Chains A and B, each alone.
Chain A
Amino acid sequence: MSDIAVRRWLFLFLVVLSTAGAVFKLYQVLRVDGIDALETLFLILFAILFGWVTISFWLAVFGVFARLTGATLLGLAKSDQPITSRTAILMPVYNEDVDRVFSGVQAIFDSLQGAPGFDFFILSDSTDPANWVAEEVAWQRLRQELAPDAGIFYRHRHRNVGRKSGNIQDFCENWGAAYDYMVVLDADSVMSGETLEALVRLMDANPRAGLIQAPATLVGRSTCFARIQQFASSAYGPTYNAGLAWLQGAEGNYWGHNAIIRVRAFQSSSGLPKLPGRAPFGGEIMSHDFVEAALLLRAGWQVWMAPDLGGSYEEPPPTAYDHLKRDRRWMQGNLQHARVLLAQGLKMPSRLNMAMGIMSYLASPLWLLLLIVSGLEMFLPSGIEAFTYVGRRPELALMVPQAVPLLQLTTATLVLLYAPKLLATMVLFTQPASLKEHGGAFAVMRSVLLESLFATLFAPVAMLAHSWFMLSILAGRATGWATQTRNDRALPFWLVAKSFGVHMLIGVGAAYGLYRFAPASLPWFLPLLAGLILAIPLAEITSSLRLGEALARGRTFLVPSETMSIAVLSHAQQLLMRREAHASDYRHLVLDDPSIMALHLRLLKEAPPLQEMPRAQLAALAEAARRRETGAFTRQDWVALLSDPESLEAMRF
C-alpha cells in the first residue's frame, strides 16, 4: 500500500472512530427511556453533523503533522531549466471595476520582468456598455505604456455563452493551440511573477500534471469583516491546505482561479456539458472548477495543490452581507454537483470533493433541523419515569446521570470546533518569521480570540441564511450571474436591517420561548442566540472601514501583506491609485472622442457582433446619439448602438 493510501485509510478510520464514539455516547444517553422517532432523527442528524466537524478536525491534525514533520506536500519534480513553453495568463472579467482589473494585470506583467513566454488575455464578458468601452480604453492605454511587443490582449464577447467557463472555453478554442499552459485568474486575483515562473517550471518538468492550484491568500481589504477573513485565511489556511494537500496528492481539486492548467489536457478532457433540466439543478454547470478538475483526473491527468508556493492572492468580500450574497451563488453551484457526483468514471477523491462542497452548505439546514428537533424534545412531554433502577434499588430519575455524558459530548464538540484554530495557531508559533509577520505572539493570540468570538456569533447567522438559501434553491429559484462587490464599503443601515432583521426576530423569539418554557436550557443556547439577536449590529459594525483601520493600528488581525511590503501587491495598489484619477463616463466618450471611437470601431471589426435590433430602431438611436440626446437610453440601447459599426461610422462624419 502506498504512503498516501495509508494516510487516507488512517484519516477515514479516525473520522469514523471519533464519530462512532460520539454517536454511541449519545445513544447511551437517549436509550435510558427508550428511543422514539424524534430521538432517532436527532441521533441521525447528530451523527452527520458530528462526522462533518470531525473531518475538519482531523484535516487540521493532519495539516499540523505535515507541517511539523516537514512532509513533502507537492510530489512533483523541480526544474531550473530556462522556460521555453508558452503560457497565457487569463483574466476573465464581467462588469468588474476596470481600474482594479488593469492595475492587477499591469502589476503581474511588471512582476514578470520580461520573463519569456507569457501573454496576457483580458477576456471580457461585460454586458454594461460603460464597462465595455472603459475596458477597451484601459487596454489601449496599457498597451501604449508598455513596449510594442508586450503580449497583452483584449477580447470582448458579445454573448456570454457558458458564463465564466464558457469564456475560458472560448479562449481555448480560439487561441489555446498556441499555448502550452494557461493561468486562470479572477478579477481580484494577483500573482507574483516568481510564482508564475515556478508554476510553469513545475508543469514543464512534470508532463503528467494537468493542473496545479496555488492557494490564494486573502489580502487587500480594510473593513473589519474583511480583515477578520484575511487573518483567518493567513493564520489557519496554511495548516488546512497542508492537511488537504497531504491527503489529496496528485488527485487534488481546482478552485476556479490562481491555478496553472495544461491547455492540451483541459481542451481534450474538460469540456463541460449542459446538465439536463432547468436551473437551478440543470442547465449550465455554475461551479465549474470542481467538475473540470474531476474531468481532468478522469482522463488520467494529475491535479496538484502547491500550498507552499506563496505569491498567490485574492480579495475577500468586504462585508458579511456580500459574503452571504456570494455564498448564495456558491451554494447553488455546489448543490448542482449532486447531479454530477455519481457520474460514471470519476475518481473517488473527485466525488469526495463534491460531496464535501455540498455538505459545507447542507450542514446549515441540518444544524437548524437538529436545533428544532432538540427544541421539540424539550417541549414535548418526557417519557422518563419518576425513577430508574440501579441494580435492585430504585433511584430518582434526576438529570445528573445524563448530564455527565451530555457535558462530555458538548465538550468534545467544542474541542472539535475550536481545536483546528488552536492547532493552526500552534504551527504559527513554531515559525518565528511568520509569527512576526502576523504582529507577534500577543497580537496573534488577541486576534485568534477575537476571530473565534466573531466566528461563534456569525455561525448561527450564516446557518439561518444558508437554510433560507437552501429552501429558495429547492423551490427552484435560480440566482443570476451578478458582479461581486469588491470595494470596501460600510453597509447602509436600512440594508443591514432588511437583510438581518429576520435573524434578530428569530433569535429574540427563540430566546423568549426558551425563557418561558425551558429556562434551564437557556444558558446552553446563549452563544447561538446571542449571534442571532446581535445579527444587525454585528453585520453593521463589521462592515466599518474605520473599525478595520483602528484594529490594524491596534495590531489586531494583522497579516503579512500589512506588516511587510509585498512587491506585486504594493505595485498593484500604486497603479490603482494612479488610475482612479481618470474616471469618466465611457459610453459618451465613444461619441465625443474621435480616438476612442476609432479604437472601438477597430475592436468591433475584430469580432463583429450579431445585431438583433431592427435597422430602423438603430437609426433612431444613432440620430438621438448624434444630437447627444441619450438621457433616455437603456442599457440595451447603448449595447445595440455600440455594437453597430454602421451607425457609429455614420456618426463620425
Chain B
Amino acid sequence: MDRDVFLLQGELIPANVPPRSFVPMPEQPLTPWTLPRLAAAGAAWLMAETQPATRQPVTADKRRV
C-alpha cells in the first residue's frame, strides 16, 4: 500500500460544522393548469364578473320599475 506518512500531523481541528439551527424549508406547490382546473378558474372568474354591482337589483325595488 502506498502509505503516505505526511497525511495528518498535529492536533485535530475538532469542529467540522458550526452548530445547527434547524429551520424547515417548505415544499412549494407546483400545480399545473390542467383543463378542468382552468375551466373551474374560468367559471369562477365569469361568475365573479356577473355578480351584481349594487346590493339590490333594480327589479327588486318596485318603485323604480
Contact = CB atoms under 8 A, between A and B. Distances in A.
Nearest to A606: B16
A153 B15 CA distance: 8
11 contacts: A144-B10, A153-B16, A173-B22, A267-B25, A270-B28, A271-B25, A271-B27, A344-B33, A582-B7, A596-B7, A598-B12
A329 interface: no
Interface in A264-284: 267-273, 275
A593 interface: yes
Contacts of B22: 173-174
B8 to A, nearest CB: 4
B16 A603 contact: yes
A584 B2 contact: yes
Contacts of A589: 3, 7
A139 B17 CA distance: 11
Interface in B1-49: 1-4, 6-10, 12-18, 20-33, 37
Interface stretch (A175-183, A439-447, A633-641): A175-183
A175 B18 CA distance: 8
A323 interface: no
A588 B4 CA distance: 12
B18 A178 contact: yes
B27 A273 contact: yes
B13 A295 contact: no
B17 to A, nearest CB: 5
A557 B16 CA distance: 43
A174, A295, A603: most-surrounded residue (chain B CB, <10 A): A174
B12 to A, nearest CB: 6
A175 B17 contact: yes
Interface string A561-580: 00000000000000000000
Contacts of B16: 139, 153-155, 602-603, 606
A341 B7 CA distance: 50
A344 B17 contact: no
Given A144-B10, A172-B25, A153 B3 contact: no
A585 interface: yes
A148 B13 CA distance: 8
Given A177-B23, A584-B3, A588-B1, A339 B17 contact: no
Given A137-B7, A583-B2, A272 B27 contact: yes
The majority secondary structure among interface residues of chain A is: helix
Interface residues of A, number: 51
Nearest to A583: B2
A131 to B, nearest CB: 16
A610 interface: no
A155 B17 contact: yes
Main SS at interface, chain B: loop
A72 interface: no
A582 B6 contact: yes
B6 to A, nearest CB: 7
A322 to B, nearest CB: 28
B28 A176 contact: no
Contact of A593 (B8, B15, B25): B8
B13 A144 contact: yes
A173 B30 contact: no
A395 interface: no
A342 interface: yes
Given A153-B18, A178-B21, A592-B1, A343 B30 contact: yes
Interface string A124-157: 0000000000000101110110001000011100
Contacts of A598: 12
A121 B16 CA distance: 9
A169 interface: yes
A595 interface: yes
B16 to A, nearest CB: 5
Given A148-B13, A155-B17, A596-B7, A275 B30 contact: yes
A340 interface: yes
Q: Find the residue from A339, A342, A585 having the highest chain B CB count within 10 A.
A: A342
Contacts of B37: 344
Contacts of B33: 342-344
A295 B10 CA distance: 47
Contacts of A153: 15-18
A174 B23 CA distance: 7
A267 B25 CA distance: 5
B23 A176 contact: yes
A141 B7 contact: yes
B8 A595 contact: yes
A530 B17 CA distance: 55
Nearest to A294: B30
Contact of B32 (A176, A271, A343): A343
B22 to A, nearest CB: 6
B48 to A, nearest CB: 17
Contacts of A177: 21, 23
A550 interface: no
B43 to A, nearest CB: 16
A300 to B, nearest CB: 13
B46 to A, nearest CB: 18
A10 interface: no
Nearest to B2: A584
Contacts of B10: 144
A490 to B, nearest CB: 25
A38 interface: no
A154 B12 contact: no
B17 A592 contact: no
A173 B13 contact: no
A574 B27 CA distance: 43
A161 interface: no
Interface string A14-26: 0000000000000
A295 B12 contact: no
A144 B22 CA distance: 29
A599 interface: yes
B25 A584 contact: no
Contact of A273 (B14, B17, B20, B28): B28
Contacts of B6: 582
Contact of B26 (A139, A154, A268, A599): A268
B28 A599 contact: no
Nearest to A268: B26
A593 B7 contact: yes
Contact of B29 (A141, A175, A273): A273
A271 B28 contact: yes
Interface centre among B2, B7, B24, B29 (most CB of A within 10 A): B7
